[in-house]
Amino acid sequence: MRRAEELKERTVWKSDPHTQVKHLVYRHYLQCWMGKSCQTFPEATIVDAFAGPGVYTDSPPGSPVVIARTFLEHTAYQRFNRLNLICLEERPDRVEELHRQFAKLPKAPKLHISIQPPGKFAEQQPRLSALARRPRGDPRPVGGRSVRPEERAVLADPAVPCRTTRRGAVHPLHERTAPLLPA
Ligand SMILES: C[S@@+](CC[C@H](N)C(=O)[O-])C[C@H]1O[C@@H](n2cnc3c(N)ncnc32)[C@H](O)[C@@H]1O
């Protein structure tokens, strides 16, 4: 079966070298981004808006699991604050598989995973943007005051509109990683 057919017909498909390189680049970028954002900000959010099933038939993890594991296995994890990981995928079978893949990860109170019901990005985008910017963590004020929006770091999928805040906390993932990918 050709790759395009496999992607269309099956819940989970085989990875390819491009995907593996992309995930390697994600992992390296996320290690740096998390090292800074998850210690500087009381909470950080990553939106994976084309999440897929979280695994490939030849066993490498999909991008949402890459993100979660990069957080959990980070050398600075003990000093990290909360990370919200919001996932959107349009196909119900892949959303189900993603739930199964995340269920295999160790429970971690600092990692809040939110798998959205199946939905198309274009229709869900305003809701996703609002979710990404809403404080979800401990409602108690930090240092005696509430967390301001610019004090939350948001790393978004390529298609999620991003804005730069006063402290540059909102980053589109593709801008940082795309130039590193092979043509
Ligand atoms: C190439 S896969 C990427 C999977 C994952 N990001 C990874 O790197 O492991 C793209 C996924 O996006 C989903 N998808 C395609 N169009 C979508 C849309 N408009 N909204 C949400 N998901 C979509 C597909 O069903 C597919 O599972």
Q: Decide if 3 is inside a domain.
A: no
Per-residue pLDDT of the chain (183 residues; tens, 9 = 90+): 888 898 899 999 999 999 999 999 999 999 999 999 999 988 999 999 999 999 999 999 999 999 999 999 999 999 999 999 999 999 999 999 999 999 999 999 999 999 999 999 999 988 888 888 776 654 444 444 455 554 556 666 544 444 433 333 445 554 333 333 332
Q: Which atom of ligand 1 is nearest to the CA of 120?
A: 20
Threshold 0.75, pTM exceeds: yes
Mutate which of 90, 125, 174 for ligand 1? The one with the most ligand atoms within 8 Å of its CB, which is: 90
Instruction: Give the span between the Cα atoms of 160 and 162, in whole angstroms.
Output: 6
86 domain residue, yes or no? yes
Which residues have a Cβ under 8 Å from the Cβ of 2 and sit 6 or more positions away?
none
Give the C-alpha separation, 74 to 34, whole Å: 8
CATH number at residue 77: 3.40.50
Domain count, the chain: 1
Ligand 1 mean position, distance from CA 144 (Å) = 41
pLDDT of residue 173: 53
C-alpha–C-alpha distance, residues 167 and 52, integer Å: 31
State the pLDDT at residue 168. Answer: 36
Residue 6 lies in a domain: no
In-domain check, residue 144: no
Task: Single out the residue of 46, 44, 64 nearest to residue 172, CA to CA.
Answer: 46
Q: Is residue 141 part of a domain?
A: no
Residue 60 placed within a domain: yes
Q: Considering the domain boundaries, does residue 162 fall inside one?
A: yes
Residue 7, domain member (yes or no): no
Q: Which residue range forms the structural domain that includes residue 46?
A: 16-135+149-180
Alpha carbon of 91 to ligand 1 centroid (Å): 8
Query: Is ligand 1 within 6 A of the CB of residue 18?
Result: no
